[in-house]
Amino acid sequence: MTDPELAEHDTYGGPAPLPLGLALLPILALFAAIGTSMATVGTGGGALLLSILFAACVAGAIAWRAGSGWDAIQQETGRQIANALPAIMILLTIGALIGSWMFSGTIPLMVVLGIDLISPRFMVLTAFLATAVMSLISGTSWGSAGTIGVALMGAAQAMGLPLAPVAGAVVSGAYFGDKLSPLSDMTNIAAIGAGAKLYDHIRCMLWTSLPAAAIALVAFAAFGLVGDPGRMSGSSEAILIRNELAGAFSLGPLAALPLLVAIVGIALRKPPALVILASSVLALIVGVVVQGFSVGGAVTSFVDGFATAGNLPAAQFAPSVENLLNRGGLMSMAGTLLYIIAAFLLAAGMKVSGAIDRLLGALLHRVRSIVSLVTATMAAGATMVAMTSHGGVTALIVGGLFREPFAKRDLEPQYLSRTIEDSVTVTEPLMPWTVSGVFMASTLGVPTLALAPWAIFCWLGPVMSFLAAFGLSRRHTARGG
């Protein structure tokens, strides 16, 4: 798309495209603020929130310079929040589910089973495989991480294992399954955006996804085999936690009912937020009937999170057990909404100023070869999803923008859709300010920057896609293209 074309497509009536330097400024401001906060006060949530708001202010100032006022930014922010409402609903219900599953004994049951059945050495590997299977069957990375992933994180915490590798394995498995499942919304949208047939798209992704998954599998297995023997062989602390949980809760089959409902509902493609809510309500009933807790305790666990002091006042727990149990509730996700609103303010400022269109156009303008085409597509996808937190919209826009350049080089549309998935679907959870990044960090209890190095499958996606571009280029040359 040329600069005149960008001007014609300026939704907010800007007189001309922004200079490239100004279009890049909010992104540079965001990275500079995050880097400064990491070097001075660490990676705490407050520092990240202020970094996003600072970048949003820079984007707003540029939008004002381009002729777009606060009203336009508010309207665009509202539109983006409306588009993300299903994801926000899932986020809130996950908070309620964690508190409710504690109340019903579901998470304590999974922790005890994890300690009894899973070798600490293979917890990371198990986390990857379990969430991969769940996500492949259900087509939802969030549902897999919020159910199986939460239970595995509880077991890892009880075993005294480092949580960042387990969280990274959960994210890797969740996105491996989501990416290849024909039931996944993002998989279907990426195919539609690129004009590819669904199963051609999935088959094409195997060439980049399977090598990435194989490398992740080896790395997670090696982590358990060569890790610190003391930490990987279990501990007396894990046995203490197991015994205290078994003594405080009735851990029979009924405690597993909420998990079963969640797995079946998600696998049957029912709306995730409603499935999670139904599982939470069932968990509250199980907590009252089976565990003998009060109705008031059920309400408190759903809204504010489970509290041992309110539900098990006579029991004495070790601090590690208190830390494991006292969590969840709708309100636990309230702070997360601040990050989402701040990120959407940043995205809105860049949208109404024309910065996003300018960046995408600049990337496309520099395409000279198949390798540079694939690289530009990935850069466009990663940039746009970083600013909008909406993978579906990104896939449709980037797909429409790059369809013609791919077709001109006789590249089938599934290569475009694969490139979109390798740069959008799997990279969003690695960005601390995106909705997916915030969701995974909040759900698993590990900061994004801590789990990201261990989300091996996710960051290998762009690497494998880039390497595959050389194969495409050689094939194109051999055909005389």
Structure tokens given for 140: 């939802």
In a domain, 317, yes or no: yes
Q: CB within 8 A of 198, min separation 6: which ones? A: 182, 187, 188, 191
Single-letter code of the amino acid located at 46? G
In a domain, 10, yes or no: no
Residue 361 has pLDDT above 80, yes or no: no
Distance CA 422, CA 474 (A): 20
Higher per-residue pLDDT: 240 or 29: 29
**pLDDT number for residue 47:** 74
Contact 29, 54 (CB under 8 A): yes
In a domain, 38, yes or no: no
In this predicted model, what pLDDT tens digit does every residue of 313-328 receive, in sequence order?
766 777 767 777 888 8
Task: Name the average pLDDT for the chain.
Answer: 82
In a domain, 41, yes or no: no
| Helix, strand, coil percentages, rounded to 5, for the chain | 80, 0, 20
In this predicted model, what pLDDT tens digit does every residue of 41-94 receive, in sequence order?
665 557 777 888 898 899 999 999 888 888 999 998 888 788 778 767 877 887
Longest dimension (CA), the chain: 79
Q: How confident is the model at residue 237 (pLDDT cuts 50, 70, 90)?
A: low
Contact 448, 440 (CB under 8 A): yes
In this predicted model, what pLDDT tens digit does every residue of 291-319 receive, in sequence order?
999 999 999 999 998 888 877 876 677 77
Q: How many domains does the chain have?
A: 1
Distance CA 401, CA 58 (A): 27
Nearest to 346 by CA among 61, 85, 116: 61
Instruction: Provide the 3-class DSSP secondary structure of residue 60.
Output: helix
In this predicted model, what pLDDT tens digit does every residue of 27-54 receive, in sequence order?
888 878 877 876 776 655 577 778 888 9
Gap between the terminal Cα atoms of the chain: 23
**pLDDT number for residue 15:** 45
Nearest to 169 by CA among 222, 128, 131, 130: 128
Residue 194 has pLDDT above 70, yes or no: yes
Distance CA 217, CA 240 (A): 31
**pLDDT number for residue 454:** 95
In a domain, 67, yes or no: no
In this predicted model, what pLDDT tens digit does every residue of 391-434 receive, in sequence order?
776 787 777 778 778 888 888 899 999 999 998 989 999 988 88
- In Å, what is the CA distance from 206 to each residue of 66, 179, 200, 201, 209? 44, 10, 10, 9, 5
Length of the chain: 481
Residue 233 has pLDDT above 60, yes or no: no
Q: Which domain holds residue 457?
A: 77-344+353-481
In a domain, 71, yes or no: no
Chain position carrying tokens 């790059």: 402
In a domain, 264, yes or no: yes
In this predicted model, what pLDDT tens digit does every residue of 137-159 receive, in sequence order?
767 788 788 878 888 888 888 88
In a domain, 23, yes or no: no
Distance CA 159, CA 169 (A): 16
Contact 196, 413 (CB under 8 A): yes
**pLDDT number for residue 9:** 40
